[in-house]
């Protein structure tokens, strides 16, 4: 795809109000997460116990938590944890899922049957169940969460990629490449995967939204990022006990999760519309 085509797609997305607002929010969240140390006036683990349970004020915009830590600071660092854990795990998931799906779809035969069976089996369990099981095995923490999320979504990408490859395989340009003497690697990496990429990447983007929720859920249960490192899930968890005493501790991270996930979905929908790939994305679901 050329640069001009990328720009056209971007312009189409931003022309939809949903796409534009969602895009703006996501850009803010990503930038905040990236430049967290520059944006935050406090350290995320600086405890000032005498300032605990403060509602929002000029010095603490979103108030403080039970240890007197600045909530905005923790929310921004929490975005760092949530976004990096969910996007890295989805990235791993996409790379592994695409490899499996592409190989299965391209070579077919018994390898394909094996992959399809395993994928269909894991498809029949909810992601949270798979993730909980894996965290139980690997142990809590950031890397455990990442592995759990990556495995939980693997089936989705393997399935989608396989369906894409199967359709593309019958295109004449594949036969044309064969007639020139192209190797399997050439056909897979020059023709099939690049053409299959768009719907997989869009569904990866949508899955990142789900992964943020999954990461927050694991964090809520104390299985995600370990204290004092903040994550939106663990912040909500500590706030849940103080719901009536200091409701802002749970409300702000909750809002951050909800708005970000909605924004990802809106942006993803706009992207699907702009790329005109509705049917392909649905095929994997």
Q: What is the DSSP secondary-structure string of 71-108?
A: HHHHHHHHHHHHHHHHHHHHHHHHHHHHHHHHHHHHH-
Q: How far is the CB of 191 from other proteins (least distance, A)?
A: 5
Under the criterion CB under 8 A, does residue 8 sit at the interface with other proteins? no
Instruction: Rule CB under 8 A: choose which of 3, 38, 58, 180 binds other proteins.
Output: 180
**# binding residues, other proteins (CB under 8 A):** 19
Closer CB to other proteins, residue 69 or residue 191? 191
**Which residue has tokens 């663990």?**
234
Under the criterion CB under 8 A, does residue 182 sit at the interface with other proteins? yes
Task: Kindly indicate which of the ranges 149-157, 174-182, 259-267, 270-278 contains the residues binding other proteins, using the contact rule CB under 8 A.
Answer: 174-182
Q: How far is the CB of 180 from other proteins (least distance, A)?
A: 5
102 conformational bin, left if phi > 0, alpha if psi -120 to 50, beta if neither: alpha
Instruction: Output phi, psi for 70, to 5 deg.
Output: -70, 125
Q: What is the DSSP secondary-structure string of 193-208?
A: HHHHHHHHHHHHHHHH
Closer CB to other proteins, residue 124 or residue 172? 172
Closer CB to other proteins, residue 38 or residue 180? 180
**Which residue has tokens 């140390």?**
37
Tokens of 284: 């994997």
Instruction: Rule CB under 8 A: choose which of 74, 191, 199, 200 binds other proteins.
Output: 191
Query: DSSP H helical segments within the chain, as ranges?
Result: 3-15, 17-34, 36-39, 71-107, 109-123, 127-138, 142-169, 172-180, 184-186, 193-220, 232-240, 248-275, 278-283
Task: Kindly indicate which of the ranges 38-46, 184-192, 213-221, 265-273 contains the residues binding other proteins, using the contact rule CB under 8 A.
Answer: 184-192
Under the criterion CB under 8 A, does residue 143 sit at the interface with other proteins? no
Interface ranges with other proteins (CB under 8 A): 1-2, 171-173, 175-183, 186, 190-191, 194-195
């Amino acid at each position: 795809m050329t640069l001009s085509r990328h720009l056209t797609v971007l312009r189409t997305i931003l022309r939809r109000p949903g796409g534009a607002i969602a895009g703006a929010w996501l850009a803010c969240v990503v930038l905040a997460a990236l430049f967290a140390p520059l944006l935050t006036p406090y350290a995320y683990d600086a405890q000032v116990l005498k300032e605990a349970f403060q509602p929002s004020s000029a010095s603490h915009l979103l108030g403080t938590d039970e240890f007197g830590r600045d909530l905005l600071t923790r929310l921004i660092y929490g975005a760092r944890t949530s976004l990096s854990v969910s996007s890295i795990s989805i990235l791993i998931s996409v790379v592994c899922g695409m490899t499996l799906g592409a190989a299965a779809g391209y070579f077919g035969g018994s390898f394909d049957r094996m992959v399809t069976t395993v994928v269909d089996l894991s498809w029949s369990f909810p992601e949270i169940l798979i993730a909980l099981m894996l965290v139980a095995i690997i142990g809590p923490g950031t890397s455990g969460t990442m592995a759990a999320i990556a495995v939980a979504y693997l089936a989705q990408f393997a399935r989608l990629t396989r369906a894409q490859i199967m359709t593309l395989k019958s295109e004449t340009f594949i036969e044309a490449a064969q007639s020139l003497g192209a190797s399997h690697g050439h056909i897979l990496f020059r023709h099939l995967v690049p053409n299959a990429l768009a719907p997989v990447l869009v569904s990866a983007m949508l899955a990142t939204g789900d992964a943020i929720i999954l990461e927050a859920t694991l964090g809520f249960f104390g299985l995600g990022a370990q204290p004092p490192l903040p994550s939106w899930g663990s912040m909500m968890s500590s706030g849940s006990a103080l719901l009536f005493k200091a409701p802002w501790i749970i409300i702000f991270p909750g809002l951050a999760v909800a708005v970000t996930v909605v924004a990802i979905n809106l942006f993803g929908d706009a992207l699907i519309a702009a790329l005109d790939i509705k049917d392909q994305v649905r095929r994997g679901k």
